[in-house]
Structure 1
């Protein structure tokens, strides 16, 4: 279990992911998400990054002040479990300049556990805009916070763009990437942070990962099982999996989705440059 409810949480997929994650002195994650992979692995050190400052702030606060965080957040959960309180907290979270980083982290956890389906979504102005979830008894993750604080003793949390994180790689690092997923129909979820994650970002990420694999880094990446993803990661070994999905599924549809786990091959196997295949048709011609 993880501290946060999270779309794309990898907890259920960890038995499959663990088959492909090699041992090493440090695991680097440019897309922190729920930190399910950190919590389910046992690397000596972790570098965990995300572009969302609210997410990384939460992890730092729990890392540094877990007991006071639990005490304050638990009391807050007990007294603010109603719709009017939720929208007041959301308003303060978005507009108040007097909230400390400690209380902003508590508000973020509260909004995650009380908001609709645990979504993390911001509008273009940078305001959190998830509606109230109307849960009778939102779960307070006390045990998960304590477990996270213990594992976080080995971790460094940074708020930065994935390219900056990938520039911090050191020899021996294992890299796991779980970006917002690619889509063949051009529909990409871009509200996780105000900067979004576009199709151009998908190309850029795949290009960098390919070069890093050529340099000998051991890389594992998750993505949708789409034509675009398989083109982007065609120089990797792509393993098919089926993942449970509760968000983005229409009524009557199966609540599962096909995904791939892309695993880097030995450096000598690589020979293609994704930067030269910028348009979709060109990538498919290369793949054919």
Structure 2
């Protein structure tokens, strides 16, 4: 039985909080969990591994996580001030969004990223092609300040290393004894449903195919198990051929109108580790004797 579920401190489109039990049930034991697409970190927060390698292509997210890991008291105290009622209005939101896009101060940027996440429309994280955060004001009555969740995240992150790398590079860091969990941007249900502007770079069909290829190679050639979650589509089933599938029905949508949220089927594809034979140590051959086996001849004095 799972302990109390821990919520992420960020709002996140496609977050895995509601699926944590199913994902946890499919994840094998390992000495380290590697997440190439950590997002808000619900799986990290609700699993018990000795160590974690948590990656995301979004530098603002990883910047905030690193500050929260290193100096939780400072960042929580400074961020709290931005959750006063005086800052929950349209003019202030757009002024602070502009400051966020202009500043190079990483600490201030981390605080503003949290503010924008909780005050912006539906907790979306979206950037223009120029890399500017462009989510509109959310019009919430009183945005929640996630103090408790931030302290828990900080405490747990002492077991984690955060990186901001392309997912391909994260796979090269995996070793036998680790497990990889991938929560990539969803394969679109339709061509108009693509939601890939989460970071300034998009995650298209080529990226989906590359991820499937890396998962297959990691499990078959290197003996590292991989679990991937995605939409349950003919495309993803063909992509993850050879994996063990489990299906889930989830209530999830980008729509703010709860009544319009249709359950979307989700698939968990598990690539079990192949038994990779241990490399046999080669017997060291005797050093070459340049004299060959010519017997020594005693020379009479």
Instruction: Answer yes or no: same fold by TM over 0.5.
Output: yes
Q: Is the 8 A contact 1:188 1:197 kept in 2?
A: no
- Does residue 172 in structure 1 map to residue 182 in structure 2? no
Q: 1:258 to 1:88 in 2, by over 3 A?
A: same
Give CA-to-partner distance per residue, 1:10-64, whole Å, 9 cap, x none.
Answer: 1111111111011111000000100111000010000000110001001001001
Q: 1:127 aligns with which of 111, 121, 132?
A: 132
- Which of the residues 197, 209, 213 maps onto 1:207? 213
Distance 1:252 1:150, change over 3 A: closer
Whichever of the two has the greater Rg, that structure is 2
The separation in 1 between residues aligned to 2:272 and 2:125, in whole angstroms, is 34
> Does the 8 A contact of 1:62 with 1:145 survive in 2?
yes
Contact 2:188 2:195 in 1 (8 A): no
- CA displacement 1:184-220 (0-9 Å, x = unmatched): 5334222101111111100111011111110211111
Answer whether contact 1:183 1:228 (CA < 8 A) is retained.
no
CA RMSD of aligned residues (A): 1.5
Gaps of 5+ in 2: 1-6, 276-301
Match of 2:96 in 1: 89
Identify the residue that residue 220 of structure 1 maps to in structure 2. Answer: 227
Aligned length: 266
Q: Structure 1 residues 162 and 171 mapped into 2: Cα distance closer, same or farther (>3 Å)?
A: same
TM-score computed with the length of structure 2 as normaliser: 0.85
What residue in structure 2 maps to residue 80 of structure 1? 87
Q: Distance in 2 between matches of 1:149 and 1:201?
A: 31
Q: Is structure 2 residue 57 aligned with structure 1 residue 51?
A: yes
TM normalised by structure 1 equals 0.89
